[in-house]
Structure 1
C-alpha cells in the first residue's frame, strides 16, 4: 500500500525521492560521465572522424530506447523490484565490458548493452512513482527527483575529468559499474515491491496488444510522448556535441566541465521551480509557456548566429536559457502522457519511453551529425523543436491553449 505522499511503505519520502533520483542517475552518468574522455577514446581506438565520437552517446541512447519496450510488460507481470535488480546487474557487467574494449566497435557494442540495461531505470522510475501518485502530485515528485538528477550532469564531466587524472578513460566505465552496484544494493536493502499481486498483468499477446492499443490510441499519451521526445532530443544533441563546441569551436577546453555544468545546472533550477509551482499553476500552463519561450529564444539565437555575432558568452547564455525551458517541459510532458494510462503504468511507461528515446535519438543525430564547426545546427534545431512541439500541443489539446481546463489536469 502506498501512502498519500507517494513514498512506498518503509521508505521516508525524502529517501524515496533520493532513490528515484539515484535510479535516474544511472542513466545520466551513463551518458555524461565519459564526455571529457571522448577525444581520448577517439585517439586510443583510432576514430578518424570527429563526429563519429558522438556515437558513444548516440548508440547508448539507441539501446536505452529499444530496451524500454521490454521492461514495462515484464514489470507489470513480475513486479518492479525483480526486473530492476536483474538489469542493474546487467549494467554492471556491461560497464566492465566497455572498460575492456579493444576496438571502437567493441566499445559501441558494450555501450549498446549498457543502454539496453539502463532502459529499465527510466521505465521503472516512472512506474514506481506512478504506483502511488498521479497528475500534479506525480509531476511534483518527478520534478524533485529530476532536480537532484540534474545535479549529475553538472558534476559528471568534472568527475570524469577527475578520473582521467588518475588513469585512462577505461576508469570511467569502472566507475559507472561501481555506481550501478551501489544503486543495486540500495534496491535490494530498502526498496519494497510497489506493485501488489492483485494489480499484476499476465504476460500474453492479447494483454500486450490491448495495453499498446490503449497507450497508442490516446492522444494525450502519444502526443505528449512525442513532444517529450523532441525536447529530449535537444538535450542529447547538446550533450553529444558539447565537447566539440566548447573545445574545438570556442577553444575553451580548460573550462569545459564548468561551462557544461552551467548549462546542465539551468535544467536543475528549472526542475526545482517546476516542483514548487506545478501543483499551483498546473502542468499545462508551465510547459506551454516554456515552449513559447524556447521558440522565442531560438529565433533570436538564430539571428545572432547568422549575423556572425556568436561568441562563447552568447552561446552559453542562449544554451542555458534553452535548457531551462526544456527543463520545464520534461516532467510535465511525462506526467501528462501517463495520466490517462496509469492503470497500465509499466507497459505504458515502456512504450512511451521507447517513443521518447527513439525520437530523441533521431532528433539528436540529425542535429549532432550536422555539426560543421558552428552552433548553427543547434540554433535551427531548437527552433524547429519548439515549433513542432507547439503544434503537437495545439492538436492534442484540441486547439485550446492556456485555457481554464488546464487547471483540472
Structure 2
C-alpha cells in the first residue's frame, strides 16, 4: 500500500520518529568515536589502534540480530519486537559501561548491536507496511535527512560526556537517549501489521522466505550493492579518528570535521527526496555510484603527488563529494531491494539488512585496519568498492525498465 496522506505536523513527527529509530546504529558508534583510543588504552587492547574493533563488534551484533528480529516482527507485530530490542541495547550499554575487560567490552558492543537491530530493521518494515516503491524511497530520504543530525552532533555530544565522566559516560548517555526514544515510540506510533497479515514463526516459513529472496535477482542484487556501499561507510567510521586526529592532527576539532562530512549525507537525502519521484530510484543510484567511483579513482591517482597525505582542504572536497553520492544511495538501495518483498516486509528487511551488513564488515575492516599515516587505503577502498557496486547494479538491472 502507498499510505494515506498525513497532516503536515503529523508527517513531520512521523519522519522524526523514523529517523531516530533507524539512527540507533549511528548513535551507538558515532557518540563514542572520540573515545576509541582511550578505551583501547584503559582496557588493555592488544594495540592502541584496535579501537576500530569496537565499531566492527557493534555491526557484527547488528548483522546477526537482524536475522532474528525481522521474522519475529512478521509473527508478533512490529512494536513488541522494538521494545525487546531496546531492552537488549540498554543491557549492552550497562555491560560495556561497567567492564574493565577488553574482551567483555567487545561482547557488550556485540550485545548493543543485537539490540539495535530491532529498531533499525523493524522500522524499515513499518515504513514498507505503509509505503512502497518511489514513495518509500521518498520517506526514507526524508528520514535520512533528519537522521543526519545524529552523526553531526553525536561526536560532539560524546566529547562532552567524556569531559564530564570519562568514556564510560558515553554508554550512560546512550542508555538514557534510548529510553527517551522508546517512550516516544510507545505513545505515538501505532502498530502497522494487523494480526490477519502476520506470518507463522517457523523455520520452514523463514527458510521458504529466504529461498524466495535468493531467487529474486532484484532483491539479492540490490542487497549486495548495499553491502558494498555500507563497506565503504563503515570502513570510514572505523578510520575517521585515525585520519582526522592521527594523519591531520586536528585534536579536539575532530567532532567538527566529522560533522562537516556528515552534512553531505543530509544534503543528498533532501536532493533524493525531491528528485526520486520524477527520475526514479535506479537512475539516481546509478549516476551516484558512477560519480563516486570516478571521483575516488581520480583522487587515488593523485596520491603520489602528496605522498599519501593531501592537504586537509582537498581531502574534505573529495570526502564531501563522495559522501553526497553515498547519501543518494542510502535513500534508494533499501527501497529497491524491498520492492518485491512487500508480502514479507519484516523478513525481507531483516535479510537485506543482515546480508548487506555481513558483507560490509570484512570490507570495512580491510579499509580501517590499513589506515596508518596516510589516507590512501580509504580512498582506494571507496574506488574499488564503488567499481564493484557499479558492476553489481549492471547485473541486477539487466533487461529491466527504470523505477
Paired residue for 1:139?
A: 137
Q: Does the residue aligned with 2:373 lie in a helix, a strand or coil?
A: coil
CA distance in 1, matches of 2:397, 2:204: 30
CA positional deviation for 1:306: 2.6
Encode CA deviations 1:86-119: one digit per residue, 9 max, x unaligned: 1111211211111101111111110000001101
Contact 2:3–2:131 under 8 Å retained in 1: no
CA positional deviation for 1:43: 2.0
Paired residue for 1:91?
A: 89
CA distance in 2, matches of 1:218, 1:103: 44
1:353-392 matches, within 5 Å, as: 353-392=353-392
Q: 1:143 to 1:2 in 2, by over 3 A?
A: closer
CA distance in 2, matches of 1:43, 1:213: 45
The alignment's TM-score, normalised by the length of structure 2, stands at: 0.96
CA distance in 2, matches of 1:358, 1:262: 28
Match of 1:210 among 208, 211, 224: 208
Paired residue for 1:102?
A: 100
Q: How many aligned residue pairs are there?
A: 400
Q: 1:2 to 1:217 in 2, by over 3 A?
A: closer
Contact 1:26–1:179 under 8 Å retained in 2: no
1:302 maps to 2:300:
yes
CA distance in 1, matches of 2:390, 2:133: 21
Contact 1:305–1:376 under 8 Å retained in 2: yes
CA positional deviation for 1:50: 3.0
CA distance in 2, matches of 1:3, 1:230: 31
Paired residue for 1:348?
A: 348
CA positional deviation for 1:300: 1.4
CA distance in 2, matches of 1:24, 1:248: 30
CA distance in 2, matches of 1:87, 1:26: 11
Q: Does the residue aligned with 1:241 lie in a helix, a strand or coil?
A: helix
Gaps of 5+ in 2: none
Q: 1:391 to 1:399 in 2, by over 3 A?
A: farther
Encode CA deviations 1:127-177: one digit per residue, 9 max, x unaligned: 000000000000000010011111100111011111112111000000000
Paired residue for 1:395?
A: 395
1:200 maps to 2:198:
yes
Contact 1:22–1:149 under 8 Å retained in 2: yes
Paired residue for 1:72?
A: 70
CA distance in 1, matches of 2:209, 2:68: 13
Moved more, 41-50 or 97-106: 41-50
Q: Does the residue aligned with 1:12 lie in a helix, a strand or coil?
A: helix
Q: Which runs of structure 1 show a deviation greater than 6 angstroms over 4 or more consecutive aligned residues?
A: none
CA positional deviation for 1:48: 4.4
CA distance in 2, matches of 1:44, 1:180: 26
1:250 maps to 2:229:
no
CA distance in 1, matches of 2:194, 2:182: 21
Tell me the C-alpha RMSD between the 2 structures: 1.6
CA positional deviation for 1:307: 2.4
CA distance in 1, matches of 2:287, 2:2: 33
Contact 2:41–2:48 under 8 Å retained in 1: no
CA positional deviation for 1:399: 6.0
CA distance in 2, matches of 1:36, 1:43: 13
Paired residue for 1:47?
A: 45
Contact 1:89–1:184 under 8 Å retained in 2: no
Paired residue for 2:226?
A: 228
The alignment's TM-score, normalised by the length of structure 1, stands at: 0.95
Moved more, 181-190 or 348-357: 181-190
CA distance in 2, matches of 1:228, 1:256: 28
Paired residue for 2:313?
A: 313
Match of 2:282 among 284, 295, 309: 284
